[in-house]
């Protein structure tokens, strides 16, 4: 996938005509996926290239909301998900205070044609331009391109089919569904803050995950009989609720190299999936200090330092708490391991 980084101060003009879809797409949840897939199909129908316009950093962070300094899917991961859904080009607009002052008219009449828009596919609640003045009705007044609106996906419209392990947005078969509000990044964030890993996975269409590099720790877990991988998480991920989780650990022993201008790829031959118990928090029994992520990989032995590890959160097991001594902590970890195993059978 070709990736172009575009600055508000640097005029850009595409030489290719696109079916274009636009959004922050934080999380790339099932509603986003439905929109992105529709853009790909619309491009096939018209003989055009499917492209996506997204932003970095999050506009809400630029406009003063610190909660959005952290992302469900940092840019690298977002681009990889776009590519997996069939997008062939991405325009990453650098969102700045200057960019936030671009009028809705200018964005519609200057920016979108310059990015090659011939047909635009977007969600019904998409807003753009200074003070979010532009909406679907405003966009439909454009003369350079046509507009197609994809309805939001209600939570009741998705679920896990009996006997299956992944969520989808479909009406092809009966679904085990809950109730109404629409799927949104804000809703996923709220679920993660509450430790609702399984429900967040249902809305995302996959388990919530974060990645990092294994770095040396103090060796305390090994001395307790439960060696842990200490994860250095550099990218600005949203952390789920503090506590202990059952999770899948994806171990990438050799990092696949991406083509120049493309997001990092995955080589299936280099990935091992291992069940794990993960602690997100501050280790109150041991040091009560900075927030950290530690993973005990079940039935695994080997050197992990320097490896890239991806943790997919399956289920919340318990809250983080202080124990009277290390023996009591070790006994609880043993119970956590036994409980976690039930989620992997």
Cβ atoms < 10 Å from Cβ of 21? 31
Mean pLDDT, rounded, of the chain: 86
pLDDT confidence band for 221 (50 / 70 / 90): low
Q: Mean per-residue pLDDT for 123-150? A: 93
| Residue 324 neighbours by CB under 8 Å, 6+ apart | none
253-260: which pairs have CB atoms within 8 A and are 24 or more residues apart? Answer: 253/307, 255/308
Map out the domains of the chain as residue ranges: 2-150, 155-204, 208-341
303-345 confidence digits (pLDDT tens): 888 999 999 999 999 998 888 788 888 888 899 999 999 998 7
pTM of the model: 0.84
Q: Is the pLDDT of residue 162 over 80?
A: no
62-90 confidence digits (pLDDT tens): 999 999 999 999 999 999 999 999 999 99
Q: Is the pLDDT of residue 41 over 50?
A: yes
Question: Alpha-carbon Rg of the chain, whole angstroms?
Answer: 22
Q: Which CATH superfamily is domain 208-341 in?
A: Riboflavin kinase-like (2.40.30.30)
Fold of the domain built from segment(s) 2-150: Rossmann fold (3.40.50)
On whether the CB atoms of residues 54 and 92 are closer than 8 A, the answer is yes
Pairing state between β 2-7 and 89-94: parallel
Tokens of 262: 């493309």
- Measured CA to CA, the distance from residue 223 to residue 293 in angstroms comes to 18
Coil/strand/helix, residue 336: helix
Tokens of 297: 């990989």
On whether the CB atoms of residues 284 and 322 are closer than 8 A, the answer is yes
| Residue 179 neighbours by CB under 8 Å, 6+ apart | 155, 156
On whether the CB atoms of residues 151 and 159 are closer than 8 A, the answer is no
Bin 180: left if φ > 0, else alpha if -120 < ψ < 50, else beta.
alpha
pLDDT confidence band for 290 (50 / 70 / 90): low
Residue position matching structure tokens 């932003």: 55
266-281 confidence digits (pLDDT tens): 444 478 899 999 999 9
Q: How many CA atoms are closer than 13 Å to the CA of 143, on its beta-carbon side?
A: 0
Taking alpha carbons only, the member of 243, 231, 225 closest to residue 326 is: 225
């Amino acid at each position: 996938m070709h990736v172009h980084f575009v600055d508000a101060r640097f005029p850009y003009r595409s030489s290719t005509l696109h079916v274009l879809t636009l959004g922050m797409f934080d999380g790339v949840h099932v509603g986003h996926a439905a929109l992105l897939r529709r853009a790909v199909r619309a491009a096939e129908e018209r003989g055009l290239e499917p492209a996506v316009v997204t932003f970095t950093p999050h506009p809400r962070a630029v406009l003063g909301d610190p909660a959005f300094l952290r992302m469900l899917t940092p840019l690298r991961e977002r681009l990889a998900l776009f590519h997996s859904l069939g997008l062939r080009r991405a325009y990453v607009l650098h969102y700045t205070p200057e960019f936030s002052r671009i009028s809705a008219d200018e964005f519609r009449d200057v920016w979108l044609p310059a990015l090659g828009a011939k047909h635009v596919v977007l969600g019904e609640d998409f807003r753009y331009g200074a003070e979010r003045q532009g909406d679907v009705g405003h966009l439909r007044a454009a003369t350079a391109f046509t507009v197609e609106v994809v309805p939001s996906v209600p939570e009741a419209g998705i679920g896990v089919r009996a006997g299956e392990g992944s969520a989808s947005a479909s009406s092809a078969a009966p679904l085990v569904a809950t109730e109404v509000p629409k799927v949104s990044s804000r809703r996923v964030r709220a679920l993660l803050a509450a430790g609702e890993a399984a429900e967040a996975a249902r809305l995302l269409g996959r388990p919530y995950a974060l990645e990092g590099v294994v770095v040396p720790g103090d060796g305390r877990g090994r001395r307790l009989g439960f060696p842990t991988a200490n994860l250095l998480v550099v990218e600005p991920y949203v952390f789920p609720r503090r506590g202990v989780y059952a999770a899948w650990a994806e171990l990438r022993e050799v990092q696949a190299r991406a083509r120049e201008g493309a997001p990092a790829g995955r080589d299936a031959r280099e990935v091992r999936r291992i069940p794990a118990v993960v602690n997100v928090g501050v280790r109150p029994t041991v040091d009560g200090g900075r927030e950290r992520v530690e993973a005990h990989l079940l039935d695994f032995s080997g050197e992990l330092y320097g490896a890239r590890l991806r943790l997919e959160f399956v289920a919340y097991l318990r809250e983080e708490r202080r124990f009277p001594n290390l023996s009591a902590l070790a006994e609880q970890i043993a119970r956590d391991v036994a409980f976690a195993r039930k989620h992997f059978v």
